A and B are shown apart, each in its own frame.
Chain A
Amino acid sequence: MTNALQGAIHTEEAHESARLHVTGAADYTDDIPSPANTLHAYLGLSTIARARITGMDLSAVRAAPGVVDVLTAADIPGHNDISPTGLNDEPVFAEHEVAFWGQPVFAVIAKTRDQARRAAQLAKLAYDGLPHVCDVAEAIAKGYPHVTKPLTLERGDVASAMAAAPHKIRGEMRVGGQDHFYLEGHIALAIPGEDGAVQVFSSTQHPSEVQHMVAHVLGKNSHDVTITVRRMGGGFGGKETQPNLFAAIAAVAATKHKCAVKLRPDRDDDMIATGKRHDFLIAYEVGFDDDGRILAVDGSFAARCGFSADLSGPVTDRALFHADNAYFYPAVKLVSRPMKTDTVSNTAFRGFGGPQGVIAAERIIEEIAYHRGMDTLAVRRANLYGAGRDITPYHQTVSDNIMPQILDQIEESSDYQARRAAVLAHNAKGGTLRKGIALTPVKFGISFTATWYNQAGALLHIYNDGSMLLNHGGTEMGQGLFTKVAQVVADCFQVGLARVRVSATTTDKVPNTSATAASSGTDLNGMAAQDAAQTLKARLVEFAAEHWKIAPEAVEFTPEGVKVGDEVYSFEAFIKAAYQARVSLSATGFYKTPDIHWDRDAGKGRPFYYFAYGAAVSEVAIDTLTGEYRILRSDVLHDVGHSLNPAIDKGQVEGAFVQGVGWLTTEELWWDDNGRLRTHAPSTYKIPMASDLPRVFNVELADWARAAEPTIRRSKAVGEPPFMLGISVFEALSMAVASVNDYKTCPRIDAPATPERVLMAVERMRG
């Protein structure tokens, strides 16, 4: 059936805000007209990595032009704590001890942002310095604690399987972190209301948590606090827990001074004072046979968590959940080590630890391939999950595996074998430029591993002119969530998409929402919205059957209008009639993901509702004189089930791939010996730009794929999984380097593979 409706489901519809984006008319939090007399807050940050605070002279700050107030821990009416885990390990303001360089110690409130920012420079803080540790390996060596309880996943007898294996390799890999570099930085605008209420406009992926944290810091109830966000200028996980700080300070100042307060840090301060993707130190041992088939894997995943737990527990858990990637490990033991370090507390970032697990699996594949003199793809195929080899290290059965089909298709469409032969022939000539090619897969588990997070609510109104206003718990950060969910609702009533307006996410419309994270936004909120739509639809059908005295089956919503028997009513007329018949035209919807369960202590369960699959082939060239490189071509094939909107899903795949490439190539976080992050702005921290794209970039959705489970219209989540396809570039670089030594050894390049790391690896290969 063809569907002529504008914005119909499963069609390429533009982002609901695209017209606003391209005209500059889309309002972000900093663009909202400020109330009269709005004050501005600015953070005062520590300038030492670890110390006792022995003195805080803020007199010059208070005396600076325009300054109204200076807030410290003593000014917090409720709790000086924004720990999202309830561990009480993350203060709003450092009070007695500094835990990292750049930790907020106070906030200046002034008439203008410029005045507040200048005044913040005038503080005289006295410290009694303490030794600090930034590096994971050093933290382990010095006996630093875990910030949260580690996880072990175990299946089979690893010790005996390893002992019996014909070949064994033990190795180590460092994987760098990553700054989110959302283009819109953190911001909060707090507006006080009557009787202690406060509304905060926050650039957040998790309005409910900001609500709870603001209430906690203010010493109030959740019903006193409303958090609102229409859109973010990017999130990527960096706005899951990190907005709490900014919202809490703005709210404290606003309620204290009874006027609006805005807090927007400069980019440098944003990058210094907020968490990033976790850096990992991965130690692995793999036992395998002559054919490259894995027999046993023993892995340890130590992460730089920073000074507090934040989300490091679930992040390091997810690293373990993905340390198998697409491969069956007959015997396996994986342990996480969420290490405390004297650095900013690391947090969620697209993939949430998964990428660090997947890259370990791919390193293991590489090690085996170089050891056996095999093509990495052959090793991959030998180890894929399959019949009788379908149990993960966490004891979930992989029942929806489409990896073989994905690999077959992309191996052919990318002409992998012929191009690999050409790369080998090119390198055999021994020139300055060397090439590499790699095909890497991804299998990614979908669901929050905190099972209770897998719920969502929606609120749908139909006004008596036939227009609809949709609200749900998900937040829009550019991923197209609002567009896809609106398509679901419009489809239920067979109306054009323009009829559905999605309003700002706000905690007073839909309560107790989960973070828009874990790629789950559409899966959860699409279902909740559909539930609300179906409730209304059922009411309308019942009304029509009664009103026009016809069987309910004779009432049908069609693109031409609502069919009632032989009559067709315009949607407007139909709704008007329902309104006049006093039908309730507002409904809530709710969804919880079925069938999932997880016993963390036992390391067993079904944490994931389903898996998403994909693969990429990348070819690179490296310059063995400088270490510089180009991505010559990348082909991507990704499974999003039955796409709700192929244009938006393809955009997610392309964007995630490039972001994943950035993580593994040019994005390097660098701390100096004083524990100070020195890559804290785009001048020093290099995310990909247009000219870094593969010279040929072919991205396809596996349009034949359908979710095996009854997900929203059999689509699958897309936000995170394709991020890991950037590993194909990393491994292709590794192959190009390996060519220098005739592929005899695995180059063991640490991530990110900057030009420096590539050149230094080439030098190592030359011996």
Chain B
Amino acid sequence: MVTVETLEQLLDELKSMKLTVPEVIRQRVRINMNQQQPLIHRQHRRFPRWLSSGVAVIPAVAVACGAVAYGARASVGRPNHPTAVNDQASVESYDYQKQLGFQPVLPTQAPLPLTQTMASKDLNTSGGDYRIFLANYGSGTDQYLTVMEGRSGHVEDRHIVRVDWRKRLIGDIHLEELVLPNGECQIVFTQRGLEYHLTAFKKSGISVTQLEQLCQRFSQPVTQPPDVTHVGTFGVQQAEKLLSFPVLPPKYIPQGFGQSEVRADVVIRGSYKWESFMYQLFGDKQALITVQELRTEGKEPNAPGAHNLSTAAVGQPRKLNIAGYSVSVLRHDAQYTSLSWVMQNGVHMSAEGGVDLATMTKVVDSMYRK
């Protein structure tokens, strides 16, 4: 027979079941939150969520680099590294067939004004190359309705993001739809070999029925160049080809670290260009080191509410001289260090992760070693 005392003892034992977040997860979540993107080391996620919300969030990533927070903007020098022009299609002229491999189509009539379009390529991923087109409808920087389209399987792995889909036949279109508790409606359908993902946010006032009707009006080929182009790639060699600045992967790998992942991204919006190189080192189980190089050119688009979780240092940071650079120590303790600096060529650098300052200093120093 169960007694009250026994239940209390059971309760006591439950208290011992508290867990702590493994450091590698803690850091990944912080970094991914900074970038408003899903877990980038998991390449089963086909498309970075932060991009689907438009280029407006990109400065948030720039802030995450850390250097911006201290106004340490150096003049942007000329690229001293050949740029893979083919991969960095400008927005002035854009051949959709050539760049994306398909002709995007949008609805003939949409319930809201079209505010922004984007062409995006993720190259050299573990699953091959992914190319998609996005369109945002709404008002100003607010998006109320988004359309993403691409070859089947290129847009998003829905089994990771949402899986509670209902199958419908509307007209001659087989679609799957989802209405979330927060009022967000999503529909996915395939037409002429392309997969379309529509999302209507609650504030759009668009019902799932209206979204179903919208699916039947996808017949207007997009003729205008996209407002924004994005190219992403993986691997050091691919990054070197894509970016206009030299990439500096660390040569010193601290004990307990081994597996690495490299990602490079270029986003162009009119005269604004944003380039990022990210090198991540994964520890045995408890730590992650992220080195990021970031360069922007041109006038930044307006960025509402950029938030930053990892580099909110207060006051004047301590400075260190590492490899001839004045490096700001944003945070450091025995388990975590965050550094930022700016190179002569205008590239903003940051290194953060689950090691102490001495170890991180070695990592940064090794980036400049021949």
Indicate, yes or no, whether A interacts with B. Answer: no
Residues of B near any A CB (own CB < 8 A): none
